[in-house]
Amino acid sequence: MRCYQAFSIRALAFVSLSLLASSCSNSSDTEFKHTIFVFGTLIEITLFDTSETLADDAFEHLERTFHDYHARWTPWETSQLSRINDSIRADSPVAIPADLFTMISASRDLFQSSRGMFNPAIGKLINLWQMHRHDDPGIRPPDPDDIAKLVQQNPRMSDIRLQGSVLHSSNRAVQLNLGAFAKGYAIDLALEYLQARGIEHAVINAGGDLRVIGRHGERPWRIGIRHPRENDIIAWLDTEAGESVFTSGDYERFYMHQGRRFHHILDPRTGYPAEGVSSVSVIHRDAGTADAAATALFVAGAESWHEVARSMGIKYVMLIDNTMRIHMNPAMRQRVHLINPESVHIVLSEPL
């Protein structure tokens, strides 16, 4: 029987998820699960074909490590990252730890390949929009003049110089916020750790963004892609060993003001939430790149996603625009199973 092993759909009730999961309880695989609440989301780790002792050790280690990553990388509280941001503001060079060195230099490459659509240097704009307060009924869009000022300061990842372990920004308006990349990167690190411990078969799923390594019995790991406007899925796909599937959507953190939707994915060129797109899903090998690419292609929009995906080396993309047309490259079309294929408008692109 093929069953919906991992129908983890963002924002759908976890009750229904556990029902789907329990419908797979006839699985003969040895499965160990552990859930961690971190990075503002539930991270579910599933291990296969290992021992209980190894699984328990790994869960304990990952629980600690994920919380440590959050504490080091958060821009909202005092952290290793906030210390770097303080130094950039003060125009002073700063020695940075190895984990942030790797993340910042990877982010700089992703900034370049995404043509600036993925730009974690826009921390000031992200702060100005206050999207973490999206549930607060008093929240309003910022003053347009304040937005314009920050856009004019033009903070870019390419302003950052890394020499040895020292970081210096030639632009004091740069403030780093790694929110579009850190979760994916943390998943990559966690899977590397599991492999180093001899655990070859695992899935780490952060609210529908996931990476799979190895096998799980006979079945591939199946993931649902959420309908951006309905409390249901619009499609599903099977992930192969080593792959990640990441989605960025305008339904994650948003509020309505005067009939307009304001969400958390910002277009660095305008300083406003990126327009025209409802969600972007990508399949890629490493989760860090998949995470950054989903954000970047969201900003690129229906016009430019193809060009930016090519430049980033992404081979599978599904973009749902805000008229609910589904844009895909042919290889993605082969893998996506639409729930109601007759009622959706598909726009097929050139191959990537």
Q: Rule CB under 6 A: choose which of 45, 55, 299, 352 binds ligand ADP.
A: 299
Q: Spell out the residues 6+ positions from residue 148 whose beta carbon is closer than 8 angstroms to its own.
A: 271
Contacting ligand ADP within 96-135 (CB under 6 A): 118-120, 126, 131
Among 21, 110, 180, 280, binds Mg ion (CB under 5 A): 180
Site string for Mg ion, 233-272 (x = CB under 5 A): ---------------x------------------------
Q: List, in order, residues 6 or more apart from 307 with CB less than 8 Å away.
A: 115, 300
- Closer CB to ligand ADP, residue 45 or residue 199? 45
Q: x/- contact string, 309-338, with ligand ADP (CB under 6 A)?
A: ------------------------------
Nearest residue (CB) to ligand ADP, 186 versus 265: 265
User: Do 126 and 267 contact (CB within 8 A), yes or no?
Assistant: no
Number of neighbouring beta carbons within 10 Å of residue 155: 25
Residues 236-255 within binding reach of ligand ADP (CB under 6 A): 248, 252
Pick one of 151, 157, 235, 265: the residue that binds ligand ADP (CB under 6 A).
Answer: 265
Site track 266-305 with Mg ion (rule: CB under 5 A), x = hit: -------------------------x--xx----------
Query: d(Cα 252, Cα 220) in Å, to the nearest integer?
Result: 27
For residue 296, the minimal CB distance to ligand ADP (Å) is 7
Query: What CA–CA distance (Å, rounded) separates 320 from 74?
Result: 30
Phi, psi torsion values for 182, nearest 5 degrees: -65, -40
In the bound complex, what is the minimum distance in angstroms from residue 219's beta carbon to Mg ion?
A: 27
- Residues 152-191 vs ligand ADP: string with x where CB under 6 A? -------------------------x-xx-----------
Asked if 284 is part of the footprint of ligand ADP (rule: CB under 6 A), the reply reads no
Pairwise CA distance, residues 283 & 177, whole Å: 23
Listed in sequence order, the residues at least 6 apart from 315 whose beta carbon sits closer than 8 Å to its beta carbon are: 283, 284, 309, 329, 331, 352
Span from 19-27, 139-147, 193-201, 287-295 in contact with ligand ADP (CB under 6 A): 287-295
Q: Which residues contact ligand ADP by CB under 6 A?
A: 118-120, 126, 131, 177, 179-180, 248, 252, 264-266, 268, 291, 294-295, 299
Q: Which residues contact Mg ion by CB under 5 A?
A: 180, 248, 291, 294-295
